[in-house]
Structure 1
């Protein structure tokens, strides 16, 4: 990367309760699990940890509950050097929780937002100065949509690069999309937001998002890599990398943070996508979304296959 980026992440903090099992249960069925792990997570916090390990000056804006999980999540972020004075503790609310079933490296996830639902417009106003210092502002959809839209509008008014990871997937207002510099959906999210049939032409779906106001679209395609469509109309693809998959939970978060860091450091879109692909590939080789995030040195040493 060309310089040390300053990244502000606005989003969720969850405790991930990860259960490993040989197979998922059918509805109404009970199966035996093999192991359980309590792992700091949440899409916002995951992306903040990934950015910090990639060398970015990182600030996390969000909310936790007044409970042991909240304290543990904040301590985990502080250990990574992330600024957490911008994370509020909500009395009377529990910290967000994600229940994750992990079977042979793949996962099923149920999220209960808890304190994440208390991240409001007022929190964005309170931390305007932090946003003003950022090179990039990274957003997801595990906090109230009203807050996401207000954060994007606030960041754009200050001339910041807004990167939106539209997950969990939901329809989004055009007013939000018009304030997004880069959107990074996976394939199913792309087709939902573009109002296109799954399996239809990828580039056409990406151009539909641009018609709605998004400047650059980067689509993650799993084992097929990633595709990008820049603001000036350049379309390209980047292949995935062959690795031994242990846990895919943090792959998308790793990609988003990697892209945001590279772009904020001055890299063009194609190079930022290539960098993000390496970050994501390394992230899935270890258990736990945050624990699996690689350092900048590890990405630099990664042998591409």
Structure 2
């Protein structure tokens, strides 16, 4: 079954300003439409390392939804537990300035009832043979609750990623039950009710080690953009993994790729630092293009073996 990913599919509509962005004016640029969504991005990134993951999710019951499924199949994703439904996919509309940063966005969330039905109907067979579980922790609470129940029934580790931290902070009890929680610097500030805007990576490492002890989170990684990522666990392992120097076009999707690398590394026996190294390498490959495409790798390139 490989790694099982439970999450959303979105259609991302992105507008890129080709000159300095004018907030109240008209901006010339380019517009692209691509497949997105945190869960979909993560499962495709895992598939691009030839690990044949499984995706549990929904798409719209139309040609675009079918296109999403067929693309994932071409990437060797197991789509057996994907379903077509009305409002199965979300939409993300975003505007970027000439430096590749998001300056405005609007998001429409999908209907998650289809995912809940998939778990009700196939939960045992999905979880029994999974290598590990990935879930968007801000999905509907019943979906998260059922995921952890199945994972504990079959003794599977759960790795959590977030797309909406304001929802995720209501799931602290589930975050404590994850094998590793990954978020960015701003999201960590929301989780711990602090401001980390001007904190250095070295300072963040010590802060993170202290906060996860009090919050009883087993492992946690916080990404800090160009400053790399910091990590800590309950056993005292902590540190900074530096970012790679690349030409940035669009940073969206980089966090998902980093998370995919961390999840793959931890699932298949790597240390937390080694897993952050895999995530860093994957993230660096997707921020150089507006399509956020991760190239294909072989597991052996990262020392991974199923």
Identify the TM-score tier after normalising by the shorter chain.
Answer: 0.7 to 0.9
Q: What TM-score do the two structures reach when normalised by structure 1?
A: 0.87
Task: State the 1:112 CA deviation.
Answer: 0.7
Matched, 1:174 2:172: yes
| Cα distance between partner residues in 2 of 1:142 and 1:101 | 24
Pair 213,268 (structure 1): closer, same or farther in 2 beyond 3 Å: same
Task: After TM superposition, list the pairs within 5 Å mapping 1:178-193 onto structure 2.
Answer: 178-193=176-191
Task: State the 1:206 CA deviation.
Answer: 4.7
Task: After TM superposition, list the pairs within 5 Å mapping 1:212-227 onto structure 2.
Answer: 212-227=215-230
Task: State the 1:152 CA deviation.
Answer: 2.9
Matched, 1:282 2:285: yes
User: Residue 220 of structure 2: SS of its match in structure 1?
Assistant: strand
Pair 208,125 (structure 1): closer, same or farther in 2 beyond 3 Å: farther
1:99 to 93, 97, 101: 93
| Cα distance between partner residues in 1 of 2:300 and 2:164 | 27
Task: State the 1:126 CA deviation.
Answer: 2.7
Matched, 1:74 2:69: yes
Task: State the 1:209 CA deviation.
Answer: 3.4
User: Residue 184 of structure 1: SS of its match in structure 2?
Assistant: strand
Task: State the 1:87 CA deviation.
Answer: 1.2
Task: Show structure 1 runs of 5+ residues with no match.
Answer: none
RMSD (Å) for aligned C-alpha atoms: 2.3
After superposition, give the CA deviation of every residue in 1:188-231 in whole Å (9 maximum; x if it has no partner): 11111122233465232453234333210111111110111023
Aligned partners of 2:12 and 2:91 also within 8 Å: yes
| Cα distance between partner residues in 2 of 1:17 and 1:189 | 24
Task: State the 1:255 CA deviation.
Answer: 0.4
Task: State the 1:81 CA deviation.
Answer: 1.1
Q: What does residue 236 of structure 1 align with?
A: 239
Q: What does residue 42 of structure 1 align with?
A: 37
Matched, 1:89 2:92: no
| Cα distance between partner residues in 1 of 2:191 and 2:209 | 9
Task: After TM superposition, list the pairs within 5 Å mapping 1:196-275 onto structure 2.
Answer: 196-199=194-197, 201-202=203-204, 203-275=206-278
| Cα distance between partner residues in 2 of 1:119 and 1:194 | 32
Task: State the 1:266 CA deviation.
Answer: 1.1
| Cα distance between partner residues in 1 of 2:165 and 2:194 | 14
| Cα distance between partner residues in 2 of 1:247 and 1:41 | 13
Task: State the 1:151 CA deviation.
Answer: 1.4
After superposition, give the CA deviation of every residue in 1:118-141 in whole Å (9 maximum; x if it has no partner): 344332233322222222211124
Task: After TM superposition, list the pairs within 5 Å mapping 1:52-63 onto structure 2.
Answer: 52-63=47-58
After superposition, give the CA deviation of every residue in 1:223-251 in whole Å (9 maximum; x if it has no partner): 11011102312111111100111221110
Aligned partners of 1:46 and 1:250 also within 8 Å: yes
After superposition, give the CA deviation of every residue in 1:84-126 in whole Å (9 maximum; x if it has no partner): 1211111x326311112232322244221124x3344332233
Q: What does residue 12 of structure 1 align with?
A: 8
Task: Show structure 2 runs of 5+ residues with no match.
Answer: none
- Comparing 292-301 and 52-61, the one that deviates more: 292-301
Pair 95,132 (structure 1): closer, same or farther in 2 beyond 3 Å: same
Q: What TM-score do the two structures reach when normalised by structure 2?
A: 0.87
Task: After TM superposition, list the pairs within 5 Å mapping 1:109-148 onto structure 2.
Answer: 109-115=105-111, 117-128=112-123, 129-141=125-137, 143-148=139-144
User: Residue 54 of structure 1: SS of its match in structure 2?
Assistant: coil
Q: What does residue 294 of structure 1 align with?
A: 295
| Cα distance between partner residues in 2 of 1:206 and 1:112 | 35
Aligned partners of 2:47 and 2:75 also within 8 Å: yes
Aligned residues: 291
